[in-house]
C-alpha cells in the first residue's frame, strides 16, 4: 500500500503508512477529542469514529441509521481539530445515492478524515451483530463503492468496503462480494461478524492483497476477542475496537451515579475515577496556565 511523500502526508497517507508499520494496526474507537488525545499519548497510530458512537453518545439514539452525514461530520471535526491521528470514519450505508456519497467524500476529506468504511446493508441498517440484517444486491454495493472512488479528491484516502453478507449468504457469498468490492476500487474489506479465525483466513486468502483485511473485535458480539497475534497469523491487517472505551466509561459512570444517589457520597468510587492531575497531563493543562501567566505578567 503506497503512501504520499513525507513532504505532504495527508491523513489518508498516514493511515496507509501505519498499516505497513504495525501488523495488525490497532484502531481504537474514540468518542470525543479528549479520548482521541489519550489514545495518541498512549501510542496508537490510528483512531475510529463509530456510527454507533455518534448515535448513542452524541444524540442518545440507537445505531439504526437514524443519524446523518451532518451529525458524523460534526463529531469528526471536533476530533480532528484536537488530534492529528488518522481517523477511520463509519459512514453506515453512505447516507444516500451517488451524489450524496460524492458530497460525503468531499466533507470527510475536507474535515480531516483518513478513511471510511461503508457497508452493504439496506438503508434501514442494523448492528452487524444483531439478527434480522438485510443486505442490498452486490451490484448496488459496487455502485456505492464506485461513487466513492470517483469522488475521492485525495488518492491516498482509504475506502473500506464492509460486508455483512457472512451471516446472510454464508462464507462463499461473502467472499464473492469481497472480491467484487475490491475490483470496484475498495482498498480494504471489513469482514463483519466473523466467528472463527478460519473465516478471516478465508477472506485473506481470497483477496490475495497485502493490507486488505480489517477485523472488528467488538465486545459482547459474534466475534471472539481474538489477540493481535492470532489475527496477524490469520492475515488480518487492521483490528478495530470500536466502542471498548465507551463501554468501560458507561459502566464507570453508572457506578458513580448509583453511589452518589444511594450512598450520598462518591467516596467509595474514587478509585475508578481519573485523578485531576492525570486529566491535566493529557490536556497539557499546565502549559496553558504558563502561557497565560507569561502573556499577562506585565499587566499585573
Residues in the annotated binding site: 90, 92, 127-128, 162, 192, 216-218, 247, 276
Phi, psi of 219 (to 5 degrees): -75, 160
Binding site per annotation, positions for Mg(2+): 90, 92
Q: Is 268 a catalytic residue?
A: no
Give the residues across from 188 on adjacent strands: 160
- Tell me the CA end-to-end span of the chain in Å, nearest whole number: 56
Chain Cα centroid distance, residue 177: 22
Active-site residue, from 14, 44, 48, 164 = 48
Q: What is the C-alpha separation between 114 and 17, in angstroms, rounded?
A: 11
* Catalytic one of 117, 144, 177, 206: 117
Question: Nearest to residue 126, comparing CAs of 115, 118, 116, 134?
Answer: 134
Catalytic residue among 144, 152, 162, 177: 162
Whether residue 77 contacts residue 105, with contact meaning beta carbons closer than 8 Å, is answered with no
- Residue 111: active-site member: no
* Set 75, 90, 164, 199: catalytic member: 90
Among this protein's residues, is 278 annotated catalytic?
no
Examine the residue annotation and report whether 90 is marked as an active-site residue of this protein.
Answer: yes
Residue 59 falls in the annotated catalytic set: no
Among residues 16, 45, 83, 127, the one annotated as catalytic is: 127
Q: How far apart are CA 180 and CA 202, in angstroms?
A: 15
Angle, in degrees to the nearest 10, between helices 98-110 and 69-82: 20
- Please indicate whether residue 117 is annotated as part of the active site: yes
Residue of 22, 92, 164, 187 with catalytic role: 92
Identify whether 16 is a catalytic site residue: no
Contacts of 3-10 with C-beta under 8 Å, sequence gap 24+, read 3/156, 4/156, 10/114, 10/154, 10/156, 10/157
Could you confirm whether 119 is annotated as catalytic?
A: yes
Active site residue 92: yes
Question: Which listed residue (22, 119, 120, 199) is catalytic?
Answer: 119
Let me know if 257 is a catalytic residue.
Answer: no
Residue list for the binding site for substrate: 127-128, 162, 192, 216-218, 247, 276
Which residues are annotated as catalytic? 48, 63, 90, 92, 117, 119, 127, 162, 192, 216
Amino acid at each position: 500500500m503506497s503512501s504520499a511523500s513525507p513532504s505532504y502526508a495527508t491523513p489518508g497517507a498516514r493511515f496507509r503508512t501505519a498499516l505497513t508499520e504495525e501488523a495488525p494496526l490497532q484502531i481504537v474507537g474514540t468518542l470525543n477529542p479528549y479520548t482521541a488525545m489519550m489514545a495518541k499519548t498512549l501510542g496508537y497510530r490510528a483512531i475510529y469514529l463509530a456510527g454507533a458512537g455518534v448515535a448513542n453518545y452524541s444524540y442518545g439514539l440507537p445505531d439504526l441509521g437514524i443519524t446523518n452525514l451532518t451529525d458524523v461530520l460534526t463529531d469528526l471535526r471536533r476530533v480532528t481539530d484536537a488530534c492529528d491521528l488518522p481517523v477511520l470514519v463509519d459512514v453506515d450505508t453512505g447516507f444516500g445515492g451517488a451524489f450524496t456519497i460524492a458530497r460525503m467524500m468531499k466533507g470527510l476529506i475536507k474535515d480531516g478524515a483518513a478513511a471510511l468504511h461503508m457497508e452493504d446493508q439496506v438503508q434501514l441498517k442494523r448492528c452487524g451483530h444483531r439478527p434480522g440484517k438485510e443486505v442490498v444486491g452486490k451490484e448496488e454495493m459496487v455502485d456505492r463503492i464506485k461513487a466513492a472512488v470517483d469522488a475521492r479528491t485525495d488518492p491516498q484516502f482509504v475506502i473500506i468496503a464492509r460486508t455483512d453478507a457472512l451471516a446472510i449468504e454464508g462464507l462463499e457469498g461473502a467472499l464473492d462480494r469481497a472480491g467484487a468490492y475490491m475490483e470496484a476500487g475498495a482498498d480494504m474489506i471489513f469482514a463483519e461478524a466473523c466467528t472463527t479465525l478460519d473465516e478471516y483466513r478465508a477472506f485473506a486468502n481470497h483477496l490475495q492483497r497485502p493490507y486488505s483485511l480489517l477485523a472488528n473485535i467488538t465486545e459482547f458480539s459474534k466475534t471472539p476477542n481474538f489477540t493481535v497475534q492470532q489475527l496477524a497469523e490469520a492475515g488480518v491487517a487492521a483490528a478495530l475496537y470500536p466502542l471498548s472505551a465507551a463501554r468501560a466509561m458507561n459502566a464507570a459512570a453508572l457506578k458513580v451515579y448509583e453511589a452518589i444517589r444511594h450512598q450520598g457520597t462518591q467516596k467509595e468510587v474514587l478509585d475508578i475515577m481519573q485523578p485531576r492531575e492525570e486529566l491535566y497531563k493529557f490536556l497539557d493543562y499546565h502549559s496553558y496556565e504558563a502561557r497565560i501567566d507569561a502573556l499577562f505578567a506585565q499587566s499585573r
